[in-house]
Amino acid sequence: MRFSLTSPTSTDGVTEQSFTLGEITGVLFTPEGATGPRPLILMGHGGGQHKKAPGVLAGAQRFAAEGGFAVAAVDAPNHGDRPKSERFIQYAGGMRTRIAAGEDPAELVAGMHDLLAGQAVAEWQAVVTAVQELDHVGAGPVGYWGVSMGCGLGMPLLAAEPRIRAAVLGLLGVHGLAETAAQVTVPVRFLVQWDDTRVPREQALALFDALGSTEKTLHANPGDHGGIPAFETGDALRFFARHLA
């Protein structure tokens, strides 16, 4: 696949470069003036979001500026700058209908993640290979950060990809994922929103329970699905620093 990077632009100590790898649209963040190898963090966005969603940018900025990490974020299949398939549009419509009706969308959410996972995993693996060939990224250890759909697509990636050594996951229930979660063995930080109206608490606790990792820590905070407190970004930074440095 052809790998193409735009010229760098820098803000607040972080250099940003958009890239394409075949059909994949992504963005790479590195500390300004970075040279030589460093740990790489992959950031997977939530459903309906994209590679530069606010939650992704907030983490990428701190991971690069304070941690010295390289950070790669891509548009998941059917998201951001990428075309949407008819099948995906069907799932998205079905989920909106269920949520509007006050019904639990877990089954359709899991179905959509199943639809995207095979392609998403292969794409992340290709992205790691491509960006690690850059001089200012290099072949260092790799971490993964992703919640909600970023967790649903991250679990199969972690199960398949031995280059990833630590992950921050969460905001998702166990539906359809128990078997995959059991294959995850790296240290995991798992975020739960205690009053999540989209993910029943018991389902989220059950996904944490299902993780095969010996070191796994659940962090639960009050509030709904989108309300992860900002201090969890600092906690994630120190978690990655501990495991990838």
Residues that bind a copy of itself (CB under 8 A): 192, 194, 208-209, 214-222, 229, 231, 234-235, 238, 242
Shorter beta-carbon distance to a copy of itself: residue 70 or 207: 207
**Contacting residues for 167 by C-beta, under 8 A, at least 6 apart:** 143, 144, 145, 146, 154, 158, 184, 186, 187, 188, 189
Q: How far is it, in rounded angstroms, from Cα 166 to Cα 143?
A: 5
Shorter beta-carbon distance to a copy of itself: residue 102 or 222: 222
Cα separations in angstroms, 198 against 29, 48, 80, 201: 31, 14, 22, 9
Shorter beta-carbon distance to a copy of itself: residue 103 or 215: 215
Shorter beta-carbon distance to a copy of itself: residue 101 or 230: 230
Residues linked to residue 164 through DSSP beta bridges, in sequence order: 142
Neighbours of 224 (CB within 10 A): 12
